[in-house]
Structures are given as structure tokens and as C-alpha cells.
Amino acid sequence: MTILYAIAGAGILACALYMVLSRNLVRMLLGLSLLATGTNLLLFLSGRIASRQPPIIRTGEKTLGEAADPITQAMILTAIVIGFALTVMLAVLVLRAWRSIRSVDARELDSAETLGPPRDREAADD
């Protein structure tokens, strides 16, 4: 079953990489969200999901037995929060780009490199 989860995680990461390399800002946003989800799934797999024992070290022992690793679970919770914050921040940037230039194509986002809005630059080029 772990192999199936690993293949699903790799498929999600491959789709995410394809979407991030797109020139459409909305696809980039969704791709980064998928990238965070695939990373969370692969982190989850690294913490042994098949064990049903609680993560408690018994008296007299020095290591954790066959239990699921609580560190990876805490890392996943942190990664979920960071991924959500990144998604919201990028959504605000995409919305700002849409309101500014009325396009979600990344090739038209060069207004930060020159002075003035894009309409003024096109008139100056003529």
C-alpha cells in the first residue's frame, strides 16, 4: 500500500511541476498548491503509516519501537499551514496582476521593470 501512496505522491508532484512551468498565473498558483500537497503526502509516508501503536517510549527503553513517528506528523501540520499561507499570498498577487493589467499571462507582467502602466509604455514605444 505504501508503494501506491508513493506513486500517487510522485504523480501529484509531476502534475504540480507541469502546472508551475506554465505561463498562466492561475495554473502556477494551483501548481504550487499541488506541490505543497504532494510534499505533505511524501512527508506522511516517511513517518510509517502502517503502525497502530502510540508513539510512547516505554520505561527502560531508549528508542521508539514500531510506532508512527510524531516528528513527521508535526512537520506535516507545519507544512500545511505554510502551504496555505503561500497559496493565499500568491492568490493576492494573481488578483493584483489581473486588476492591474487585465491578464493572467506571465509574459505580460513586465510593468515592474519599466515606468508607468503598460498602456503608457505602448504609446511611448510608437
pLDDT tens-digit readout, 26-39? 999 999 999 999 98
First CA to last CA across the chain, in angstroms?
63
**What's the pLDDT score for residue 122?**
58
Segments making up each domain of the chain, as ranges: 2-54+67-125
- How remote is the C-alpha of 12 from its chain's centroid? 11
d(CA 109, CA 18): 20
Statement: residue 116 has pLDDT above 70: no
CATH class of the domain whose range is 2-54+67-125: mainly alpha
SS3 78: helix
Statement: residue 120 has pLDDT above 60: no
Mean pLDDT of 11-38: 93
d(CA 15, CA 99): 28
d(CA 115, CA 48): 54
Give the closest residue to 32 by CA, choosing from 73, 93, 103, 75.
93
What share of the chain in percent tops pLDDT 90? 31
Owner of C-alpha cell 510509517: 48
What share of the chain in percent tops pLDDT 70? 76
* Longest distance between any two alpha carbons in the chain, whole Å: 82
pLDDT in tens, 72-94: 788 889 999 999 999 999 999 89
Mean pLDDT of 63-71: 71
Mean pLDDT of 9-15: 92
- pLDDT classification of 59: cutoffs 50, 70, 90: confident
